[in-house]
Amino acid sequence: MIAIALRGQPSWHASTVSGDIVFQTHRHIACLDSCVRVFAAALLFIGAGLPTSAAFAAHQSGVKADRILVLKSERKLLLLRGEKVLRSYPIALGPHPHGTKQVIGDGRTPEGVYTIDARHAHSPYHLALHISYPSEADRALAVAAHDDPGGDIFIHGLPAWYGRNDPVRFYKDWTKGCISVGNTAIEEIWAAVDDGTPIEIRP
C-alpha cells in the first residue's frame, strides 16, 4: 500500500485490488461548502478513451449544450443540444444513490429538473457547477417533515493531484450527493454549459 501525502491535504492511500487502483482517505476534508467532505473514491480503469472526433470538434468549436441529462441508474451525464447528444460522461454519485435527496446528510443525489445557477473556478475538486437544489417543492417536503433539505449540490471534478486521465467509469459512489466527473470532463462541461442551463436528473 502506497501512502501519498500532499502539502495541506490529508494522507491518501492507494492500493491495488484485482488490478484496479483504489484511493481512500481516513480524514474528513472541507470542500464545496460542505457538499463533499470525504474523498473516498475508488476508480476503475484509470485513463479513459479520447472523445469521439465529432464530440471533440463540437467542444473545440464552442458549441453549447442547451440541456444536461443525468441518468443515475446508468451513471451517465449527457450534454444535449436539441435531441442530439454532444457528449456522454461517466459519473459517481452519493453513497445512497437510490431515491431522491430529501434531507441534509442523507447521501442522496436529487432527482428532478433544476438549473445550473452558479460556478466555482477554485473548487478543491478542480471546477464545480452549482445545481439549483433545493427547489420550492423540495423545501416544502422537508418542512413538512420538520427537517432541512440540505443544499450545496454540484457537478464537479476530482482533486487536482488526480490529473487529466479521466476514469472510464467509477468503481464506487463517493460524493455526499454531488455528481462527480473526471477533470477533463468538468472542463468540457464548464465550457459547454452556460448559467441558466436546465439539468434533468432521472433515477
Ramachandran category for residue 47: left, alpha or beta (phi over 0 → left; psi -120 to 50 → alpha): left
Share of the chain above pLDDT 70, in %: 70
What is the secondary structure of 56-99 as a DSSP string? Answer: HHHHHTTPPPSEEEEEGGGTEEEEEETTEEEEEEE-B--S--SS
Q: Where are the domains of the chain?
A: 49-202
In this prediction, residue 59 carries a pLDDT of 55
Domain 49-202: which topology? Answer: L,D-transpeptidase catalytic domain-like (2.40.440)
Provide the whole-model pTM.
0.73
One pLDDT digit (tens) per residue for the chain, 203 residues: 333 333 333 333 333 223 332 333 333 333 444 443 444 334 433 444 444 444 445 455 689 999 999 999 999 999 999 999 999 999 999 999 998 998 898 999 999 999 999 999 999 999 999 999 999 999 998 888 899 998 999 999 999 899 989 999 999 999 999 999 999 999 999 999 999 999 999 99
The per-residue pLDDT for range 29-85, each reduced to its tens digit, is 334 444 434 443 344 334 444 444 444 454 556 899 999 999 999 999 999 999 999
Q: Which residue has the cell 436529487?
A: 110
Give the up-direction half-sphere exposure of residue 114: CA atoms within 13 A in the CB hemisphere.
Answer: 24
How far is residue 68's CA from residue 145's CA, in Å, rounded to a whole number?
30
